[in-house]
Amino acid sequence: MTENSNYVKKIIKQVDILQSNKLDSEESINYFTGFMYSLILDKTVFKRNDELPDFIFNFFLKPFGSMQYKDYVYKSRTLLGARVCRHIIDDFNYSDTVKLSKIILNYLEKKYALGQDENAHKKLNSIANELSGWLNQ
């Protein structure tokens, strides 16, 4: 196994924490904010800055009807991380973090062709969906 796939498996475990019921809604948003900041800063998943605009736009901005960030934002990972964190804190709720964590999990599994135990993820996803529905009532 390569170092990258070990790192990505570590990231996937972090995403699994978001999908479990170990955190309350406020903790989930805070955890997701930190997770995304570290994902943006780390050069394991996104080796070059020019890989980030499509990812950020398609997963974070487009679903919320936000416009693409200006080019200069993508030249600095710290600035980009700060913008994404502000967007998460201002605009996301618990169900958004669960939904987006599933999408990111699928993205990483496809990008690195990692085989995961599908039954375990189905169980986690069903728990997260039930909890999300309960919190939104």
CA distance 79 to 99: 25
Structure confidence at residue 117 (pLDDT): 47
Ranking 13-17, 35-39, 119-123 by mean pLDDT, the lowest is 119-123
Count of Cβ atoms closer than 10 Å to residue 40 Cβ: 23
pLDDT of 119 over the 70 cut:
no
CA terminus-to-terminus distance, the chain: 44
pLDDT of 101 over the 50 cut:
yes
**pTM score, two decimals?**
0.73
> Confidence band (pLDDT; 50, 70, 90) for 126?
low
Q: From start to end of the chain, where are the E strands? A: none
Q: Are 12 and 45 in contact (CB under 8 A)?
A: no
Ranking 21-25, 46-50, 55-59, 107-111 by mean pLDDT, the lowest is 21-25
